[in-house]
Amino acid sequence: MIRDRNEIGDNVSIDTHSVVEHHVKIGNGVRIHSNAFVPEYTILEDGCKIGPAVVMTNVLHPFCPQSKVCLRGPHIKKGAKICANATILPGVTVGQNALVGAGSAVVSDVPDNAVVLGNPARVVKMIDNLVCPYGLVERPYGGEEK
């Protein structure tokens, strides 16, 4: 379901059973997998990837009488990748080309090119330090095929 009053770029893919609320900015080449939730006032920059069942939030204090006046969606920067079942809290920025591991709970900003995992998510390495365990590429997310 895609609500109204969104800005959606070119070459965007939004899969089955995902919800994109209103006032969302989606850049070019963004991929949103199935069952993802993208709340109001979220920004998804060019080329970012949102995995299946990712939940983003925009309310810091749910059920507070003033919650509607302080909505802040996450800001997912260019080329960032959010893996399956991750949760991103309100107002969090995920840096350019960062990778959020599956099932992680992101409670604070993620630096550019960082790999974060866990609950709460913590930086475990940088994207340039990733290796392909199957030997298919020298470096995932930038390596050439062998």
Q: Looking at residue 103, what is its pLDDT?
A: 98
Please report whether residue 40 resides in a domain: yes
Q: Looking at residue 145, what is its pLDDT?
A: 46
Q: Looking at residue 143, what is its pLDDT?
A: 52
Please report whether residue 84 resides in a domain: yes
Of 31, 47, 24, nearest to 98 by C-alpha is 47
CATH code assigned at 51? 2.160.10.10
Question: Tens of pLDDT along the chain (146 residues)?
Answer: 999 999 999 999 999 999 999 999 999 999 999 999 999 999 999 999 999 999 999 999 989 999 888 999 999 999 999 999 999 999 999 999 999 999 999 999 999 999 999 999 999 999 999 998 998 888 888 754 44
Q: Looking at residue 39, what is its pLDDT?
A: 98
Q: Looking at residue 142, what is its pLDDT?
A: 74
How far from 142 is each of 13, 21, 28, 60, 139, CA to CA, in Å?
22, 32, 19, 35, 6
Are 111 and 95 in contact by the 8 Å Cβ rule? The answer is yes
Q: Determine the structural domain holding residue 88 and report its residue range.
A: 7-129
- H/E element holding 118? strand 114-118
Alpha-carbon span 31 to 12, nearest angstrom: 6
Please report whether residue 29 resides in a domain: yes
Active-site amino acid positions: 61
Please report whether residue 134 resides in a domain: no
Q: Looking at residue 146, what is its pLDDT?
A: 43
In 45-102, the DSSP E strands lie at 49-50, 55-56, 75-76, 81-82, 87-88, 93-94, 99-100
Please report whether residue 1 resides in a domain: no
Encoded tokens for 85: 């079942």
Alpha-carbon span 112 to 110, nearest angstrom: 7
Please report whether residue 2 resides in a domain: no
Question: How many domains does one find in the chain?
Answer: 1
Please report whether residue 141 resides in a domain: no
The overall average pLDDT reported for the chain is 95
Please report whether residue 142 resides in a domain: no
Interior CA angle at 16 toward 3 and 68, to 5°? 35
